Amino acid sequence: MKAMRIHAPMQFGVEEIPDPVPGTGDLLLSVEACGLCGSDLRTLRSGHSRITFPWTLGHEICGTVAGTGPGYTGPWKPGDRLSVGPLAYNPADPFCIEGRHELSANVREIGQAWPGGLADRVVIPRASVEMGNILPTPEGLDPVHATVAEPASSVIHAQERARITLGDTVLIIGAGPIGCLHTAVARARGAHRIIVTDLVAERLALAEAFEPDAVIDSSRRELADVLPDLTGGRMPDVVITAAPAPAAQIAAVELARKGGRVVFFGGLPHGNSTPGIDTNLIHYKNLDVIGISIFAPRHFRLALAMIESGRIPADKLVTHTLPLARFNEGAQLALDGRALKVVFKP
């Protein structure tokens, strides 16, 4: 089959590799669409501690069942179209029993622990099949749009933790695909005013499709000067960092109102994750600082439902759909920041 393969940082392409064989209890999917994630871009640029090259990336997967491994007992049969939440949790972990799957030990991910979906076919391991993180793709939903359920799940998780609700003014730092998803989800949760900021004018222009109430080009204007006017002097109730930048975290703590909530969504690069945050601001402003990564199965269910209903406009997020054979061209568009979301179809 054809698959995307990375051999070293910035050395990748589509190659012929042997067909994957499903093991005991596994599912074999014929991939219909697979999105390229911000974390995939990081791996393309600089590799990944949990990945040994050569490797096939891709964890935002929609496909149809093409076969099953020996002893398979799951509910899906050949021809079923499935959306794959790529995380396999440890079901015996006490955190899973509490419903906080994202905290369980040894969470493994398709595209890291197992080869990914940027290929003609992908094996869905038994561990994923058994954790209830795989759902039928809603009838009539384009598989390309269904792939957005994976990044949307983490965004829904973050806003659940930040309790975004009616009347909130939300500042989102970073206008990439994650910032756009935060805009859509904050709107659906009833946020009063949503402000998006970025250093790159092209990215802000792409984010306008999500209809934020205001955008600020922070390369031209100081946020601290503009925000009082946009918030009636109150400053944002919630600030979300949707950029892997230490400066975003510093700004978030400075800009949140007293008693506000700060969400660190974007992780920071290894070796550069101790920004000089003035923690007295957290102390004296009584801030809630919320860290979040990954998601639980319930967030994936909700994400797929919100895409089906149009509350998350996946059609606006996916700016480029390309055949997998043109992977390098699509990857370059995303690496250069000229695309919001790029999705590949084998």
Residues that bind Zn ion (CB under 5 A): 37, 150-151
Q: How far is the CB of 59 from Zn ion (least distance, A)?
A: 6
User: Helix 38-46 vs helix 327-335: angle between axes, to the nearest 10 degrees?
Assistant: 100
Angle of helix 297-309 versus helix 149-162 axis, rounded to 10? 110
Judged by CB, which is closer to Zn ion: 37, or 306? 37
Tell me how far, at minimum, the Cβ of 337 lies from Zn ion, in Å: 17
Q: How far is the CB of 105 from Zn ion (least distance, A)?
A: 21
Which is closer to Zn ion, CB of 117 or CB of 236? 117
Least Å distance, CB 150 to Zn ion, is 5
Nearer to Zn ion, 109 or 217 (CB): 109
Question: Which backbone phi and psi does 151 adopt, to 5 degrees?
Answer: -65, -35
The Cα-based distances of 179 to 6, 115, 125, 210, 243 in angstroms read 27, 28, 31, 10, 8
Nearer to Zn ion, 37 or 119 (CB): 37
**For Zn ion, the closer CB: 120 or 150:** 150
CB 154, min distance to Zn ion, A? 8
Interior CA angle at 310 toward 305 and 314, to 5°?
90
Distance of closest approach, residue 39 Cβ to Zn ion, in angstroms? 6
- Nearest approach, Cβ of 278 to Zn ion (angstroms)? 32
Which residue lies nearer to Zn ion by CB, 49 or 286? 49
Closest residue to Zn ion: CB criterion: 37
Task: Choose between 177 and 346: whose C-beta lies nearer to Zn ion.
Answer: 177
Is the previous residue joined to 54 through a cis bond, with omega within 30 degrees of 0?
yes
The helix/strand/coil state of 286 is coil
Q: Give the residue carrying structure tokens 């050569």.
A: 54
* Interior/surface letters 124-139, b for 16+ CB within 10 angstroms, e for the rest: bbbbbbebebbbebee
- SS3 string, 316-344, reads HHEEEEEEHHHHHHHHHHHHCCCCCEEEE
The smaller minimum CB distance to Zn ion, of residues 35 and 260, is found at 35
- Residue 94 backbone class (left: φ over 0; alpha: ψ -120 to 50; beta: rest): alpha
CB of 54 to Zn ion, least distance (A): 21
Inter-residue long-range contacts of 187-190, CB under 8 Å, 24+ positions, other chains counted: 187/211, 188/306, 188/311, 188/312, 189/159, 189/164, 189/165, 190/164, 190/165, 190/166
Distance CA 322, CA 346 (A): 9
